[in-house]
Every structure is written in structure tokens, then in C-alpha cells.
Chains A and B, each alone.
Chain A
Amino acid sequence: MLSHDFGAGFADPVVDAQAAFRAFLDALANPGTQQKLAGSSDGSAALGRELASTLLTLSDHDTTIWLSPALDVDAVKGFVGFHTGASVVDDPAKANFAFVALGDAMPELARCNLGTQEYPDRSTTIVVEVPALDGGAELVLRGPGIRETQAISPVGLPADFVAQWGENRELFPRGVDLLLVAGGQVMGLPRSSRIVEA
């Protein structure tokens, strides 16, 4: 089978993956800021550009990934298999990365892999495609990577997100990390970030 059956990967795999990685690094090192996700892959019909770039940059046959219902289709699984070799798992608790398509519900944070007290790094990173990173209800963040406070207003978070995130923060150093993507940008919410106003 030809690669275009599954959608294209990066035009320049080495340079594009490096540029995308730096966007994720800057996003998690500076929580709540928006970083340009350069070097986007076209993905495929069912897989948005930003999710495709994230998959290509961070996953391979050493990683397990969970796909939200809209992504759990042959076209996307073909893209994942062909370009990354990552294993698709049916339970977010077994996943290194959970990918959530626009419109799909984010898995409950507590249902993901939260890591262990000895190995908190083994937790799930959730990557969520949202309608927009601005324009929603304002949340104010504090924590490492933030000078004083950082206001964010992403659209499309679950109604009980603030409560879920609060519980996730209480687990520190365990807990999930979150990457929100929209419009060619990525925003990071590492587990270390606290929502201090909502």
C-alpha cells in the first residue's frame, strides 16, 4: 500500500518533528501560552493537522496510544500504523498518549494512567483538539513556568474540568499532562499547573 492511502506524514520529517517538539516543549515549560505548531502534517480526513503533527512527533512503536471515538476509524489507525507504528489501546489507562478529536469527549482525567509515586513520568499525556484556544471561560493558572499568573480561555473543555484538574493537581507528582491544540497552535497544561481562579 502507498503512504498516501493514509495521508501524508511530515514534508521534512527531521526538521518538522524538531520544530513541533520545540512547540510542545515551550508549551509545557510556559503553561497556558500558545505556541505555533510549525511543520504541520496534512494528516488525513479524520485526523486534524495538529493531532497528526503530535502523533508524528511523539509516538512510535515504543508508545501506546488511545484514540477517541471519531479517531477510532480505519483511516486514522492506518495513518498511525504506517507512520508511527504505535500500538492502539482501548483503555486510556494503558496509554502513553490519548488523542481526542474535535467534538469528542475528553476521557476523564482519573481514568487515564496517572503514573506511580515512584515513576510519575509513566502517566498519560492527553492531546485534545478544541474549537479554539481563546474565547471560552477564563481560568487563571499558577505554577512552575509561570511568572505570576497566566489567564487562559480555551473553548470546549468538559463542564467539570476545573474540578477534574483540581483532583489531578492534588495527585502531584502523579497526574496527567494536557496539550490543547487548535488553529495551528498548542497550549500546555502540565500537572504542576494549578487553576487558582475559574
Chain B
Amino acid sequence: MNAVANYNFAYLDEQTKRMIRRAILKAVAIPGYQVPFSSREMPMPYGWGTGGVQVTASIIGPDDVLKVIDQGADDTTNAVSIRAFFAKVAQVQTTTHTAEATIIQTRHRIPERKLEAGQILVYQVPIPEPLRFLEPRETETRKMHALEEYGLMHVKLYEDIARHGRIATTYAYPVKVEGRYVMDPSPTPKFDNPKMHRSEALQLFGAGREHRIYAVPPHTDVVSLDFEDHPFEIQHFEHPCALCGAEQVYLDEVILDDRGGHMYVCSDTDHCEERREAGHVGVLGMQEAAE
């Protein structure tokens, strides 16, 4: 990360914050619509979620408590760096506990713990346009959104069914917001789509390279696209978390050795730790205890 000497509070200058804040307010008023904004250079590469960082920098205040996750983990390089960045440029308190955070910036996952009123979830979005792979021209996708022409999207999903017998998309699975805009929920696994539906929290999305901000206010309908004969389904995991025994959570495969040994554990590390602290034990945790 480059030097961030002589920065304003939260790094961005006030003029930039005002521009981004105006875009955020319009995004909230038009749920699911992508508001263009003039993205700024941040002292980190684009792949690091500069859109999310700019949104967080524009909303954060001295009383906020910030959590940053990459996949579901607080301790990856990306999450640690962004958290350290805001601790330095905005002197805010940071946390790894979902319940304590007022702002949660995320790259992929939505925490397993139900978010509460007053919390803001900020997504780092690489590709905000759900129609991009159907139509590369921005002028055309804008027209399609304007006219609510989403037939091609359904055709694409149906082709999936024809080819694979099911909708094969597992990440960035398109949703319809409040019955109007089709929206890309960023590279979250489709497992998390139902958590966006009528969430108590405000959800803000920032795409730095693509210069777009969009939003889902609390209590807003977010419905995954599907078909009557092929309804939307989330991923199911056969085993509970090996460490904490949690079921109905998103699991990551962890390789244990070079002989093919592996286990499935919570992707949300905070959720897993809290469960273990509360005394929940998974299969592997039991072995450890027995050894």
C-alpha cells in the first residue's frame, strides 16, 4: 500500500465524498439501479475493492465500528489491509465480531449472523452489470434496464437448465430488486442471496473500476431469478462444520495433508469462533478434545 501521508479524514477529499454521497442517496432511492460516479484513485490496486473502500470512506464517521471480510474471513491480507487503512485514516474502532460492527465491508460473503437495523453492509463489486455477459455495450444494457427488458437474462438461465439440467450459476446469481431492477449481487455465493431479501441492514455496493454505486435499503424484496419448474435453490452441504458443528452455513473445503485429507469448515470465521466459544463442537473438534 502506498504512503497515505497528508490525507483528509477517511482519506478522500470532501469534494469527492460529497459526489459519492449524492450517488449513494440516489442509489438508496432507486433500489437496484446502478448510479454512475467518478471513481477516484485509491492507495490500493483495483482488485482490492476500491469501490467498496470509496463507499466506506464516504459514509464512515468517528463513532463507527468497522469489520472487513474477504470470503468469510477477517484475517486475509485484503481484509487486514483495508481494516488497517481505515484504522489509520479515520481512526475508527475495528472489530471481527459481526454483532459489534456498524459498517461491514465485504468482498464475497454475507455474515451468517442475521444483520440488524442500523448496520450497513458495503460490498466490493468487480462487475456490477448483470447483463454484461449478454450485451457488452453499456448504452445497450442501460436501455435494457430502462425498458425492463430482461428476457435475455431468462433465456441465458434457461440455456443453463437445458445444458446442465439445472441453473449452473453459483456465484453472482442475478436477483430482481423490489420487482424492478435486475441486479448483480457481486461475487457472493448464491447461498447468501436469501440473506439479502428483506434484510434489516442497509446494503451498499461499490464498483470502483466500473464507476457504479447501487443499493438495497432495509426490508426490500430481493428475489433470485428462477423458473416455476426450476425454482432457485441454495447450495447444500452434506456435513456440518468440522470445527463447530454448524449446519445450514456456507462451508469451505480445507486441505489437511497431502494424502487427500480434508475437512469442511465455516467460511464465516467469526461465526465459527463464536460457536466454539459457546461450547459447540464439530467432529474434528471432538477428536482434538479426545486426543
Contact = CB atoms under 8 A, between A and B. Distances in A.
B14 A13 contact: yes
Nearest to B21: A21
B46 to A, nearest CB: 23
Contacts of A120: 30, 33
Interface string A4-29: 00000000011101110110110011
Interface stretch (B141-149, B155-163, B165-173, B238-246): B141-149
Interface stretch (B122-130, B213-221, B229-237, B254-262): B213-221
Contacts of B22: 58, 63, 96
With a 10 A CB-CB cut-off, give which of B25, B62, B147 has the most chain A CB atoms.
B25
Interface string A22-62: 10110011100000000000000000000000000111101
B180 interface: yes
Given A15-B9, A21-B59, A173-B180, A28 B25 contact: yes
Nearest to B35: A121
A173 B61 contact: no
Nearest to B62: A15
Interface in A173-198: 173, 177, 190-192
A146 B29 contact: no
Interface string A129-148: 00000000000000111110
Report, as a range, how many residues of chain B touch the other chain.
35 or more
A172 interface: yes
Contact of A145 (B15, B58, B59, B220): B220
A30 B14 CA distance: 25
B15 A192 contact: no
B31 A144 contact: yes
A191 B23 CA distance: 15
Given A21-B59, A29-B202, A58-B22, A14 B29 contact: no
A172 B61 CA distance: 32
A119 B28 CA distance: 14
Interface of B: 8-10, 14-15, 17-19, 21-31, 33, 35-36, 58-62, 142-143, 145-147, 178, 180-181, 202, 215-220
Closest 4 CB pairs of A and B: A190-B29, A145-B217, A121-B26, A117-B146
